[in-house]
Copies of this chain bind each other. A is one copy, B any other.
Amino acid sequence: MVIEGFEGEPGSRPPMADLLTAGLHASLTDPALEGMNLLNELVMRFPDAISFSAGRPFEGFFRVEDLHRYLRTYCDHLEKELGYTSEQVVRTLFQYGRTKGVIHELIARNLAVDEGIKADPDSIVVTVGCQEAMYLVLRALRTDERDVLLAVSPMYVGITGAAKLVDMPVLGVEDGEELSDLQAVVDRARAEGLRPRALYLVPDFSNPSGHTLSVATRHRLLEIAEREDLLLLEDNPYGLFSLEDERMPTLKSLDTGRRVVYLGSFAKTCFPGARVGFAVADQYVWDGRSERAELFADQLSKIKSMLTVNTPAFAQALVAGKLLESGYSLSSANEDLRQVYRNNLRRLLDGLARRFPPDGPYKVTWNTPGGGFFVVLDVPFTVTDDLLEHCAREYGVLWVPMHHFYDGRSSTNQLRLSCSALSAGQIDEGLDRFADFVADSMN
């Protein structure tokens, strides 16, 4: 058969094949994506290695019976608080439903209680994880080759991936307390005839850098966004997990000009298996004719109707159950979990300090995040995927080379350690193995 897009050497014979990668969308051969697949593959190949690589939540508090209770709690809420008939309850759970979701009122209350965000429930789109919310926003904003996304770099691979699906270039803005080169990146883009539409960032305990933006920087970002007509895509999966009790205000809670699209996730505060996230998109969208504007959330909802139709009602019900049982405060519902993450992060930072003292033989340094799951190390040697594989095989410990978070680069002197899913003993043992690896890598 003719193979669509076959471009092998003259005479080269393909194995039995129906399609060629060259005949498929470019996102499928993107380095960022290939990188993540390689990392997942290494985790599979070395199941006994201690993994500092995954940003998965701690599993110790998950209970199957909770799922049954959450579902009953939500059904009781529908019947007793909202006065639904049993037919309406059944319809809500089993049938096609509202594209923007059915737990938007509960999410709005949670945002008020935990994040200081006053969100109109109609401005909330419940999505299949935060990843779908990212896609919906980028799909809406990418109209032609002039539209580009800005993202704080090093970048979360999820946003890079979503951008690839809509062929949207991503321009990096160097991470750091000030995000001081944002204006320069915007100016350069406009000079090249490009149209920067939005800046993606994780203001609290960023993935992968662990950085947190100061309040002053948050205010300055909102000013720049207003002046440059940028949206700020605020992704906040780790905000609850601060080392200290006081927290920074979310960008959205400071947003008086509808510049921020807030991207929410329940993966770390409830359970990843539900795949429930959301976007708060309260921007007004005008068609140039009508008397009144629509909400951006309703535009995102239209795209969702062509992508996943609904977020599974059963999954929404489980998250709703946990929200209802906690009085809408995931901060209080996760008190034990927050303590686990604080202890793990402190143990990781203390363990690094003990093993790599400033006056020690190895020049290993790291940042000290105010919370979250991630610490970035600077090491005195080049960090590649091959080195990771060597470390996994010979030392039984996994981590993530930072180059995966820089679009295009193939190596840096940095690596990321994650401690969210590990026990204290695993952290200690893992750091011992890691220290041996560093020592041997120097000689």
Contact = CB atoms under 8 A, between A and B. Distances in A.
A299 interface: yes
Interface stretch (A305-313, A333-341, A395-403): A305-313
A36 B305 contact: yes
Contact of A140 (B24, B89, B93): B24
21 contacts: A4-B195, A4-B197, A5-B143, A8-B288, A16-B284, A17-B286, A24-B140, A24-B285, A25-B303, A59-B87, A62-B94, A64-B75, A64-B93, A68-B71, A95-B272, A96-B267, A128-B308, A161-B306, A274-B312, A275-B310, A314-B318
Contact of A18 (B24, B271, B273, B296): B296
Given A14-B286, A71-B67, A229-B2, A306 B165 contact: yes
Nearest to A283: B18
Interface string A285-306: 1111001110010010011011
B284 A15 contact: yes
A248 interface: no
Nearest to A34: B302
Contacts of A18: 258-259, 283-285, 296
Interface stretch (A129-137, A213-221, A344-352): A129-137
A354 interface: no
Given A19-B286, A312-B315, A67 B90 contact: no
Interface in A149-173: 158, 161-162, 164-165
Given A18-B296, A59-B95, A96-B272, 6 more contacts: A2-B229, A14-B288, A64-B75, A94-B272, A273-B312, A275-B309
Interface string A360-394: 00000000000000000000000000000000000
Contacts of A14: 286, 288, 293
A141 interface: yes
Contacts of A311: 275
Nearest to A294: B21
A80 interface: no
A226 interface: yes
A223 to B, nearest CB: 12
A305 B20 contact: no
Contacts of A318: 314
Interface of A: 1-8, 12, 14-29, 33, 36-37, 56-57, 59, 62-64, 67-68, 71, 75, 86-87, 89-97, 128-129, 131-132, 135, 139-143, 158, 161-162, 164-165, 195, 197, 226, 229, 258-259, 267, 271-276, 283-288, 291-293, 296, 299, 302-303, 305-315, 318
B275 A20 contact: no
A12 B95 CA distance: 44
